[in-house]
Amino acid sequence: MHIPIWFWMAIIVLLTWGIAGLFQKLATNHLSAESTTVCLVIGFFLLCPWLYPQESLWMYSTRALLFSLLSALLNALGAWAMLKAMRHGGKASIVVPFTALYPIVTFFLSPAVLHEPVSLLQAAGVLCGLIAVVLLST
């Protein structure tokens, strides 16, 4: 059976972000959402030496660079909102699954914005995922 590469990448995402979800709650037990956001950026910058691009950044289009920074900006705001939810008493086992509802936004936006087709299996997967998120948030 052929398992696509993106599946293995997704496993790494699941593990790292899954553990990060726990640490977010532990951090907000001691810090404000704002201070935790600052610490997150420090953590991101710690990885930069290993990620320093081999190629010049100017070889990319302005559009791609702009979208990259915009996506990071939205991600930062989303993370801040999640930390704020935890700081306001949200449990990690509720807030983290709840905020994972974001694929529904992607699911509806990607055919319109990116012109990507959505298969029935993916739709079923999204449906199962959403039911899971709702049940986990109950």
Partner 1 sequence: MPIPEVLRAKWFWYSLLCVFLMGGWTIFSKIASSEISAPTMQFLYPFGWVPVAVACLWTRGFRLEKSPRGILYGIAVGVLGGIGGLAFFAAYRTGGNTSAISAATGMYPLITVVLAVLILREKLTWLHVVGLLFAAAAFLLFSL
Binders of partner 1 in range 38-57 (CB under 8 A): 38-48, 51-53, 55, 57
d(CA 46, CA 49) in angstroms, rounded, equals: 7
* Residue 12 sits in the site that holds partner 1 (CB under 8 A): yes
Q: Does residue 23 contact residue 86 with C-beta atoms inside 8 Å?
A: no
| Contact track, partner 1, 67-106, x by CB under 8 A | xxxxxxxxxxxxxxxx-xxx-xxxxxxxxxxxxxxxxxxx
Q: How far is the CB of 58 from partner 1 (least distance, A)?
A: 12
CA distance 107 to 122: 9
**How near is the Cβ of 1 to partner 1 at its closest, in Å?**
10
The minimum distance between CB 50 and partner 1, in angstroms, equals 8
Q: Does 30 bind partner 1 (CB under 8 A)?
A: yes
Rule CB under 8 A: say whether 114 interacts with partner 1.
yes
State the Cα–Cα distance between residues 19 and 13, nearest whole angstrom: 10
5 binding partner 1? (CB under 8 A): yes
- Phi, then psi, of 6 in degrees rounded to 5: -60, -25
| Residues 80/115, Cβ–Cβ less than 8 Å | no
Distance CA 5, CA 33 (A): 35
Q: How far is the CB of 91 from partner 1 (least distance, A)?
A: 5
